[in-house]
Amino acid sequence: MEWRLISNTKAEVADLYALPATVARARILRRYIPVLRNTADTIIIQRVAKKGVLAGSEVVVDREEAEKKGIEIAVRPKGGRKGARSAETISLQELMLKAKDKFTSEESQPDETAALIYTSGTTGNPKGAMLTHENFLAECEATSDIITTTEGDKFTTLVPFFHIYGLAIGLVVSLFRGCGTVLFPQYSPRQFLKRTGEERISILIAIPTQYHHLLLASKRRTITQSPLKYCISGAAPMPVMVIEAFKEIFGVDIIEGYGLTETTAAVAVNPQERTKPGSVGIPVKGVQIRIGDNQGNELPPHQAGEVLVKGKVVMKGYYNLPEETQGVLRDGWLCTGDIGYQDDEGYLYITDRKKDIIIKGGFNISPAEIEELLCSHPKVKEAAVVGQKEKEGREEAIKAFVVPVEGEEVTTVELIRYCRMRLASNKIPDAVELREDLPKSATGKVLKKELRQGYKDRRVIERE
Amino acid sequence: MNLGRLVEERAKEYPKKAALIYEGKAISFEELNKNVNRLANGLKGLGIERGDRVAIMLPNTPEFVYSFFACQKLGAIAVPFNTMYKGGEILHILKDCGAKAIITLNSAVPLINEIKPDLPRLQYIITTGERSLTFADPESTVFLQGVLSKGIFKDLDDAYKGIGEALVQGLQELGLQGVWYKHRGSLRIGEKKLGGFYFSEIKDIYILNMICFLAPFDPSDLFSVIWVPPEVKDKVLEPLTSIQEELGRRPSDEEFKEAILGALEKELGIQLKEGTLTRDEKSSYKKYKAVAKRK
């Protein structure tokens, strides 16, 4: 059988769409208009003459920037109902179009699971936290004193809805309050600042790195008449500096909260008028927090131990993992795995993750303490410290990963000397590695597991 | 009270008020409720029931919101997860929760296709959104496309197998060792991706799209077109490789063409004859091109 071959080695990027679309159309028309010449099955081979991007119609591309870099842009038009679609898939739009707009809801009970949100541990696979209808609604109640709204308020969340913070606070709380939400499936800080004014966004939900990017994009000019009333930050610790700089430029407070996937987002929030820097605040309405020792006994103020949480926001358990669930849920108290303490007024301070603690010479060593010290070095931008097993022993060595400030040069010897002068001898890193950046999650948390020995990239597919 | 009921109540309280604002357009609470109902009916029609898990792999679009609350009205369990996840990560979640359906972007379909055979409980891939990004570079990319009658193949699996085998053969011909693909998956060497191919369908036609990396792809181009937070840049792309990296040299156009097309001819038992567009095709070609180039 003979097929047609079309070679186009000096293609424009638009050809990547136009050529196969043309041939396909002719093939379909032929069925209805018999006088059209029969075209054979066709193979097209293409190479472009210039750099280019073929973008789906919903992708917001920065044409200005692309032009600067000499990148040609073409848009793949909306397929529509009659367009080509991925083989053997169902179109959501078509599914909706054919369906009635009335539906009688199932009478889900408060303790039925509404969502499974997968969360990673230090090792092993992510576990599915079972969050119930009651969990989400309890989070709405718990934050009612903090996320105060009036009828005209508009929310926006730069945090993805697949993250519990984006989902529970950004989506469910805004809906619960009857407020509108401006959606940004994809954003750039510059574009977002523009839209904030246009859309009159009054409440912003974001994570520390996003606030940092917004600050950079504002070029440190004071933004007058920003419609923002206040902002919420969560998912990772917020540097006090960013809060202060943000207040100076945008004239609004960033309220910092603390929570976990297992607690349907926030369990503690720094109250707007009585903020304590360095603290993640006091428990939200209906949530109890206490600090426990290894046996689960409650510790007095200022003593560090594991943070325990109780309340209606605490998950039902991990999906299909009764043992893991029992390991973290005891008499309604969730063992968070975070290490911290409370002051006399009940303000919570998070100092470490339990899973991050390094055991060396029989002592518990806090990576956070070493990281903080390294970051205080003027040439250091970021640091992450992990424990590494020594050969055949249980003894751990301390390894520091350091990102220098851009344009600065720093040596590992210099950094170790810096630590030696300021830390107890057993806390001095055994090795320092300089890096351009640290691996981070979508919410900007340093992924320490990727820095540990023997880390395996879980994204890859294995060949059997 | 439950989350399904919450949408209904807000629709009654604030029917005309904007619930979602997307690309400058407002969707009122009443419309939101109706759209959620439509999708709930649609999913019910597919057999999604109370307690079933429905995975949602979408950015913050109205469709995410419809999907999440449609699950709530059905009493189904929504399983939203990171849109940046790749193969092994997605596989674990879908397997662990035993999702019956996944709602995702068109552009994520190849990722799901690759792992689908390991997911016997996954019955439906529901897609939305035109959010694909294809990068073309004179040095590093080459594209093989096809417009083929469905009848050439027994079924879609047969199409993937026929084309997949031919591509592996052709790449071997060029001297590449250990090229493999899994089911409807990407072409890989070791764990790294060398290229990908997938089929779209329209009526009785399959449209094949294949990209192959001839030389290393510079991802900085990507970041000048869309803004990506610097700290997640390395998570946007799968680990990639290219013929040049594997072979130590970049093949010429002629060499690549000869190897790949030769393998296609052999594997499919066809003959390829160099041709051009017909007169009828030429006029519609201009139209399609103008649409794609419109600003």
Report DSSP letters for A255-320, one per residue. Answer: EEEEEEGGGTEEEEE--TTS--TT--BEEPTTEEEEEE-TT-PBPPTT--EEEEEEETTS-SEETT
Cβ pair A20:B37 closer than 8 A: no
The label of the residue with tokens 């993992």 reads: A321
Q: Give the whole-angstrom CA distance, residue B59 versus residue A162.
A: 8
Name the residue of chain A whose CA is nearest to B137's CA: A51
Q: Give the whole-angstrom CA distance, residue B239 versus residue B236.
A: 10
Stretch B152-177: mean pLDDT: 95
Name the residue of chain A whose CA is nearest to B106's CA: A86
Tell me whether residue A429 is exposed, middle or buried, using C-beta atoms within 10 angstroms of its C-beta: 0 to 12, 13 to 18, 19 or more.
Answer: buried
Report whether A386 contacts A357 (CB < 8 A): no
Which alpha helices (H) appear in B125-278, and where do they start and end? Answer: 156-173, 220-225, 233-236, 243-247, 253-268
* Contact with chain A for residue B228, Cβ under 8 A: no
CA-based nearest residue to A264, from A315, A202, A204: A315
Q: How far A25 CA sits from the closest chain B CA (Å)? A: 8
Helix (H) or strand (E) holding A208: helix A208-217
Q: Which residues in chain A are contacts of B141 at CB distance < 8 A?
A: 47-48
Q: Which residues in chain B are contacts of A186 at CB distance < 8 A?
A: 59, 131, 226-227
Q: Which residue has the higher pLDDT, A395 or B151?
A: B151
Q: How far A5 CA sits from the closest chain B CA (Å)? A: 5
- Give the domains, in start order, of chain B with CATH numbers: 3-128 (3.40.50.980), 141-274 (3.30.930.10)
Residues 35-54 of B with CB under 8 A from A: 35-46, 50, 53
Q: Give the whole-angstrom CA distance, residue B45 versus residue B123.
A: 13
Residues 252-271 of B with CB under 8 A from A: 253, 257, 260-261, 264, 269-271
What distance lies between CA B241 and its chain's CA centroid? 20
Q: Which residues in chain B are contacts of A320 at CB distance < 8 A?
A: 96
| Partner residue facing B133 (CB), from A56, A105, A184 | A56
A–B interface: beta-carbon pairs under 8 A: 477
Name the residue of chain B whose CA is nearest to A5's CA: B274
Q: Which residues in chain A are contacts of B135 at CB distance < 8 A?
A: 51-53
Cβ pair A160:B147 closer than 8 A: no
Q: Which residue has the higher pLDDT, A39 or B257?
A: B257
Q: What is the dihedral of CA A59, A60, A65, A70, to 10 degrees?
A: 30
For residue A20, give the DSSP letter.
H
Q: How far A228 CA sits from the closest chain B CA (Å)? A: 17
Name the residue of chain A whose CA is nearest to B58's CA: A162
The ipTM of this complex is: 0.95
The domains of chain A are located at 4-84, 113-353, 357-450
Stretch B243-259: mean pLDDT: 95
What is the architecture of the domain spanning A113-353?
A: 3-Layer(aba) Sandwich (3.40)
Q: Give the whole-angstrom CA distance, residue B123 versus residue A89.
A: 10
Cβ pair A18:B201 closer than 8 A: no
Residues 16-35 of B with CB under 8 A from A: 17-22, 26, 29, 34-35
| Partner residue facing B60 (CB), from A23, A96, A184 | A184
Helix (H) or strand (E) holding A401: strand A396-404
Q: Which residues in chain B are contacts of A462 at CB distance < 8 A?
A: 88, 191
Q: How far A2 CA sits from the closest chain B CA (Å)? A: 5
Which tens digit of pLDDT belongs to each residue from B88-123? Answer: 889 999 999 999 999 999 999 999 999 999 999 999
Q: Give the whole-angstrom CA distance, residue A410 versus residue B184.
A: 48
Handedness of CA A378, A380, A384, A389 (dihedral sign): negative
Q: How far B86 CA sits from the closest chain A CA (Å)? A: 5
Q: How far B108 CA sits from the closest chain A CA (Å)? A: 10
* Contact with chain A for residue B95, Cβ under 8 A: no
Cβ pair A101:B38 closer than 8 A: yes
pLDDT for position A395: 64
B285 contact partners, CB below 8 Å, separation of at least 6: A18, A19, A22, B277
Cβ pair B202:A12 closer than 8 A: no
Q: What is the dihedral of CA A263, A264, A265, A270, to 10 degrees?
A: -60
| Partner residue facing A76 (CB), from B115, B132, B227 | B132
Strand A42-48 and strand B133-136: pairing? Answer: unpaired
Quote the mean pLDDT of chain B: 94
* Contact with chain A for residue B223, Cβ under 8 A: no
pLDDT in tens, chain A (464 residues): 899 999 999 999 999 999 999 999 988 887 776 665 566 899 999 999 999 999 998 888 999 889 999 999 999 988 776 778 888 999 999 999 999 999 999 999 999 999 999 987 655 688 999 999 999 999 999 999 999 999 899 999 999 999 999 999 999 999 999 999 999 999 899 889 988 989 999 999 999 889 989 998 887 666 767 899 999 999 888 888 889 899 999 999 999 999 999 999 999 999 888 888 889 999 999 999 999 988 878 999 999 999 999 999 999 999 999 999 999 999 999 999 999 999 999 999 998 887 788 877 767 788 888 998 899 899 999 999 998 876 655 567 899 999 999 889 999 999 999 998 888 888 889 999 999 888 887 777 788 888 887 777 777 766 76
Mutation pick from A60, A72, A106 vs chain B, by most beta carbons of B within 10 Å, is A106
Cβ pair A85:B106 closer than 8 A: yes
Query: What CATH number labels A357-450?
Result: 3.30.300.30
Cβ pair A13:B29 closer than 8 A: no
Residues 105-124 of B with CB under 8 A from A: 106-107, 109, 114-115, 124
| Partner residue facing A444 (CB), from B14, B72, B231 | B231
Phi, psi at A173, each rounded to 5°:
-65, -40
Q: Which residues in chain A are contacts of B28 at CB distance < 8 A?
A: none
Name the residue of chain A whose CA is nearest to B239's CA: A460
Let me know if the fold of A113-353 is the same as that of A357-450: no
Cβ pair A55:B133 closer than 8 A: yes
| Partner residue facing A440 (CB), from B114, B232, B294 | B232
Cβ pair B275:A5 closer than 8 A: yes
Which tens digit of pLDDT belongs to each residue from B167-223? Answer: 999 999 999 999 999 888 899 999 899 999 999 999 899 999 999 999 999 888 888
Q: Give the whole-angstrom CA distance, residue B232 versus residue B12.
A: 41
Q: Which residues in chain A are contacts of B168 at CB distance < 8 A?
A: none
pLDDT for position B262: 97
